Structure 1
């Protein structure tokens, strides 16, 4: 009867394979944990921190305005929109109309990344700062809404265009797809509160569709969406579908009133 002989080299090969399998398993488990932590960080931690920071900034702006310490710039040259109370047939005195025009003229020129207004959307329970520019690092990732540089300011004729994250970092615009015609959107500044009413929605367009933020907003990808006459517009833009940045969702509104502070 022959007895099989196990060579040392065979034992070493088996041991190496076992170590390789064990090491590979450890690496897979570690990679899985790292990915899980990254997901938790993006979907939970960034939202938590951005929302807290945005809330603190809103409180800080309100304190500045209440104390009258907000920064004053050179003023904007846009013409104030005539609110309902300022129409010639409303019986409102010249003093009220003058105060409304002055409120828009007093708007400071915000510095890059500076928070200078507060956006409120009652239907969504949203109240966040508005900062100049749409930089991810300096504005959007802080949970703020960003103002497209070069577009109009609140209350001015033209288009006051804003961008915000739909997912992560506070995701202030996550649910703007739920907005319907006549829902209100308010913009508070140091000098006045401007109220817009939602008018139209463009469910999806290219990320390069610059027409939606022009003074007379109109999609250059889907020309059936937008406007053809000058007015007092607000534009809200965000990424769509959720958790992607391939397309843009656009909501437009029109100014309906302006109330000086």
Structure 2
């Protein structure tokens, strides 16, 4: 407890002593026996008024000089060590600094700026919606400072990039009108620029009348006529459709032709070799079980095999069948014997021309390389009982298909002048066509029974 200050009046001290005489009004504690305590123990004094904190004293001093909050003279210093509130005088506006002035609105929407020097400078500014301007936070400057200090500062990407709301609030409206007008202007600029930056927002209820009045859809920003024109431009023209169909047909035709060529040049050879090989093996098996004499000409049915031809130089082994039918003989990879209206001799005949035909390309192509045969090359024909060996003598590179004189008993153009036992090989030329015929002739030089084994031409 602090001692009584000497500046208190003696009258006040006496009045306080008199009040202690009444035990009912004595606020001091009682004695041990329930009675009043000894007078020496009671030292009444008035509780001093504690001074305000240092920051409040500073605020009061600023208020007294017109620079803090509150009216000047609100608190006046009293006797040393005490502070008592003083009557508040009429508030006076603080003097404005030289660096800023206070704007007063004018009736016509402008503003006047008054300087502190006493001179007024008037500047007509555009009217601003009070609702669009940021309002100060409630409370005094100290409350706003504490609220700002309590707000956490953004970190990372949030601190580097300003938000869209802050950017929008900082920039003034570039276009007159409401939000709908600005949005439509942005959509129109985006459409003309050819690149859409963001999806347009759906119109609000307040914007619906304006959208309906302009006739533009909220999704694309176009009128119905513009939308129809854009759809018509995006639609393919008949010429484009026709060209696409023609192109697809050409592609399909090309694929089919490729498949057909593959079938003709590759797959038909595989099938013909299988069929010809089966026919040759069937003949050999038949001959091994029947060693009878050769049959007379004309006793074979069309397509029936009766002999096997060997061309050692070309590594050819193919069965010989009766007739030159394309489907029954030639397409099966076999060699056909001219018969019927173009009847020719058999190998076992004493004289005559044994004429044969076969494919040069596709379907086994047994006569593919007969153009490489030269004079002296051997051709062997095996029958049920004999081996007949022929020697090549001459070649006719090309002749029309109508020249049947090459099939006569003494072939025309072969160089033979008298009757004998000859062989004639015919095939198409040039390759992969049937325009002309290639002819190869030969004469018999050896006849050997099968019981004596193979001839020298097959052994070599």
Scaled to the shorter chain, the TM-score interval is 0.7 to 0.9
Q: 2:334 aligns with which of 128, 140, 144?
A: 144
- 1:174 to 2:368 alignment: yes
For structure 1, list consecutive stretches of 5 or more residues without a partner in the other structure: 77-107, 220-224
242, 249, 252: which is aligned to 1:20? 242
Q: Does 1:57 align with 2:279?
A: yes
The within-5 A match list for 1:68-107 is 68=290, 73=295, 75-76=296-297
How far has the Cα of 1:9 moved from its partner?
Answer: 8.9
For the pair shown, the structure with the greater C-alpha radius of gyration is 2
**Aligned-partner Cα distance in 2 for 1:120–1:70:** 22
Q: 1:13, CA displacement in angstroms?
A: 6.2
Distance, in Å, in 1 between the alignment partners of 2:290 and 2:333 is: 25
Alpha carbon RMSD of aligned pairs, Å?
2.5
Q: Cα deviations across residues 121-141 of structure 1 (Å, max 9, x unaligned)?
A: 000000000011111011000
Deviations 1:118-161 (A, max 9, x none): 00000000000001111101100000000001100013211000
Q: 1:172 to 1:70 in 2, by over 3 A?
A: farther
Q: Kindly provide the CA deviation profile for residues 189-222 of structure 1, in whole angstroms up to 9, marking residues without a partner as x.
A: 1121100011111111111111111111114xxx
Q: TM-score, normalised by structure 2?
A: 0.46
Q: How many pairs align?
A: 224
Match of 1:213 among 392, 404, 407: 407
Looking at structure 1, the residues matched to 291 and 390 of structure 2 have their Cα atoms a distance apart, in angstroms, of 27
Deviation at 1:18, TM superposition (A): 3.7
SS in 2 for 1:33: helix
Equivalent runs, 1:180-195 vs 2, <5 Å:
180-195=374-389
Residues 1:37 and 2:259 aligned together: yes
Decide which of 341, 346, 353 is 1:153's aligned counterpart. 346
Maintained 8 Å contact 2:406/2:412: yes
Higher-strand-fraction structure: 1
Q: Structure 1 residues 70, 114: closer, same or farther in 2, change over 3 A?
A: farther
- The residue aligned with 1:234 is 423
Structure 2, unpaired ranges of 5+: 1-221, 451-460
**What is the alpha-carbon distance in structure 2 between the residues aligned to residue 15 and residue 208 of structure 1?**
55
SS of 1:128 mapped into structure 2: strand
Q: Secondary structure at the match of 2:281?
A: helix
Query: Structure 1 residues 70 and 130, CA, compared in 2 at 3 Å: closer, same or farther?
Result: farther
**Secondary structure at the counterpart of residue 309 of structure 2:** strand
- Which of 306, 318, 321 is matched with 1:128 structurally? 318
8 Å CA contact 2:291–2:384 kept in 1: the answer is no
**Structure 1 residue 22, shift from structure 2 partner:** 2.8
* TM-score between both structures, scaled by the size of structure 1: 0.79
Inter-partner Cα distance in structure 2 for 1:230 and 1:132? 23
8 Å CA contact retained: 2:345, 2:354: yes
Contact 2:291 2:385 in 1 (8 A): no
The reply to whether residue 255 of structure 1 matches residue 444 of structure 2 is: yes
For the Cα contact (< 8 Å) 1:58–1:118, is it kept in 2?
Answer: yes
RCO comparison, higher one (Cα < 8 Å, 6+): 1
**2: CA distance between counterparts of 1:46 and 1:115?**
20
User: Paired residue for 1:89?
Assistant: none
Give distance in 1, aligned partners of 2:252 and 2:230.
Answer: 33
* Kept after mapping to 2: 8 A contact 1:196/1:256: yes
- Deviation of the 1:110 alpha carbon: 1.5
Matched-pair contact (CA < 8 Å) for 2:293–2:385:
no
Report if the CA contact (8 A) 1:218-1:228 is conserved. Answer: no
Asked if the contact 1:212–1:226 (Cα under 8 Å) also holds between the matched residues in 2, the reply is no
Q: Verify the 8 A CA contact 2:292 2:385 in the aligned structure 1.
A: no
